[in-house]
Amino acid sequence: MKSMYTTGATARGGRNGHVKSENGILDVEVRMPKALGGTNDEYANPEMLFAAGYAACFDSALNRIIKLSKVATGETAVTASVSLGQLENGGFGLAVELHANIPQVSLEEARALVEKAHQICPYSNATRGNIEVALTVSNNEIVMPA
C-alpha cells in the first residue's frame, strides 16, 4: 500500500483513561460504558470512536461512488452501530451494522451504491473477513432538528 496520509493518537489508562490525537483536535476522556461495568454512559468509549470513524469514512466512500456513478441523490447519512462481544475462544470481538440513508433513489439503487461503497471504504477493507458487517439502506429524506 502506498500511504497517502498518516496520523496518530495516544491512549493512557485504557478504557478508563484519556485519548488524544497527535494534533490535539481529539482530546477526550474515555470510560467503560455502563453495560460493561462503568458507572454511566456520559463519556466516549473505544466502540463509540470506532463507530464515528467508520460512519464518516463509509459516507465519504458512498458519496464517491454516487459521484462516479453520476446518480442524483439527496444528502446521504450513514449510521454505524458497533457491538462488542465475547468470542468462543474467550477473547473479544466487534460486529458492525452500517445503515445508509440515500434519499431520492430506489431501495434497489441504494443497495447497489452501498455494496459498491463497501468495496472501496478503507474501514470496510480493514474489517473484511475479520468482523461481521451488516449493511442496510433506506431512502427517506432526513429532517434535522433546528
Q: State pLDDT tens for residues 88-140.
A: 999 999 999 999 999 999 999 999 999 999 999 999 999 999 999 999 999 98
Residue 55 has pLDDT above 90, yes or no: yes
Answer yes or no: is pLDDT of 14 > 50. Answer: yes
CA distance linking residue 134 with residue 46, whole number of Å: 20
Q: List strands edge to edge, sheet with 9-12.
A: 9-12, 17-21, 27-30
pTM of structure? 0.92
What's the distance, CA 31 to chain centroid?
A: 19
**Yes or no: is domain 1-44 CATH 2.20.25.10?**
yes
| Res 142: pLDDT | 58
Q: Do 53 and 43 meet the contact criterion of CB atoms below 8 Å apart?
A: no
Fold assignment, 46-138 = GMP Synthetase; Chain A, domain 3 (3.30.300)
31 touches 43 (CB < 8 A):
yes
Return the pLDDT at 146: 47
Cell of 117: 461503497
